[in-house]
Amino acid sequence: MSRSRETKDWIFRLIFKATGLLTIALLVGIFLMLISNSIAFFFDVSLIDFLGGKQWSPDKGGGVYGILPLLASTGLVTLGSMVIAIPLGILTAAYLAEFAPSRLQAILKPLIEVLASIPSVAIGFLGIVLVGPAISNVFGTLSGLNALNGSILLAVMALPTIISVSEDAINAIPKSYREASLALGANQWATLFRVTLPAALPGLIAAVMLGLGRALGETMTVLMATGNAAAMPTSFLDSVRTITATIAIEMGEVPFQTTHYFALFAIAAVLFIITLGINLLGEYLANRLRKYHA
């Protein structure tokens, strides 16, 4: 009896360990694949020219492969999207968790889930027919396909993740914290901003990281909405081309195992490292904050 239970225990532990290891293996595998394909690129182009180059023109002469314009594009679009999505997402989550009457909650929550399930191509169309014209109207630009457009769309795509993860984080804060604050004479707003949200910060960071990851990696939407000019952007109204869009556009036409081909792996590796770095930083910050919790 207890023998068979022990065996069962052992089998389950093995299964869980295996699935955990599989995730790690996948991560390492993807990274090695990117790196090994990138190495050939660095036989032709120096790391300095690659990381410091302000021009990305694979077709020009022997090809110029400076990642900076792509990096700046990705950075700009993502930054813009987070500036919109983080406050909006967290405040929406706080409203849903703390203030919204249950009837409104019952309507809003499914709506937010629907928003999450809209395919990125559809959001891209939204950028072309709605956001783009609106931007060119408001700012008087010729085209509305630019970094701002991408930021707005990515914000829309990151919002559902940020909202639902933030809401879980806020709901997980014990009622006793709120009571402690209210009993000291705090109003509901002070309680929210000085106790509940700070207490939920580890979870809010996780929410932002997931949203950020979504925005950084998103391809189709930015490809459709940002104008795809691989030049150094100087403002949110410039057309930009992110790392992801560059890979998607150029991978289809590039001859196999040329410098250009390997260059695309190299920029993918850079994106991978950035994403990983951001997640590790988020994890580190969240862990540092957790020591204040029981």
Partner 1 sequence: MSQTKLSTQSLNLHFGDKHVLKGINIEIPANKVTALIGPSGCGKSTLLRSFNRMHDLTPEAYIEGKLLLEQLDLYDKKNTVTDIRKRIGMVFQKPNPLPKSIFDNLAYGLKLHKTPKKEIPDMVTKALQESYLWEEVKDELQKPAVQLSGGQQQRLCIARAVVLRPEVILMDEPCSALDPISTKKVEELILSLKDDYTVVIVTHNMQQAQRIADYVAFMYLGEVIEFDECEKIFHQPQHELTRNYIEGTFG
Contacts with partner 1, residue ranges (CB under 8 A): 174, 176-177, 179-187, 190, 194-195, 198-199, 291-294
Residue type at position 252: G
Rounded to a whole number of angstroms, the minimum distance from the CB of residue 83 to partner 1 is 27
Nearer to partner 1, 130 or 186 (CB): 186
Nearer to partner 1, 182 or 285 (CB): 182
Nearer to partner 1, 42 or 177 (CB): 177
Report in angstroms the alpha-carbon separations of 137 from 127, 141, 156, 239.
14, 7, 21, 16
Nearer to partner 1, 23 or 176 (CB): 176
Rounded to a whole number of angstroms, the minimum distance from the CB of residue 126 to partner 1 is 39
d(CA 277, CA 256): 30
Rounded to a whole number of angstroms, the minimum distance from the CB of residue 291 to partner 1 is 6
Rounded to a whole number of angstroms, the minimum distance from the CB of residue 161 to partner 1 is 25
Q: What is the DSSP letter of 229?
A: -
User: What is the token pair recorded at 174?
Assistant: 């014990």
> Which residues neighbour 70 within 8 Å (Cβ) at sequence distance 6 or greater?
56, 230, 241, 242, 243, 246, 267
Nearer to partner 1, 58 or 202 (CB): 202
Burial class, 232, CB count within 10 angstroms (exposed 0-12 / middle 13-18 / buried 19+): middle
d(CA 178, CA 244): 43
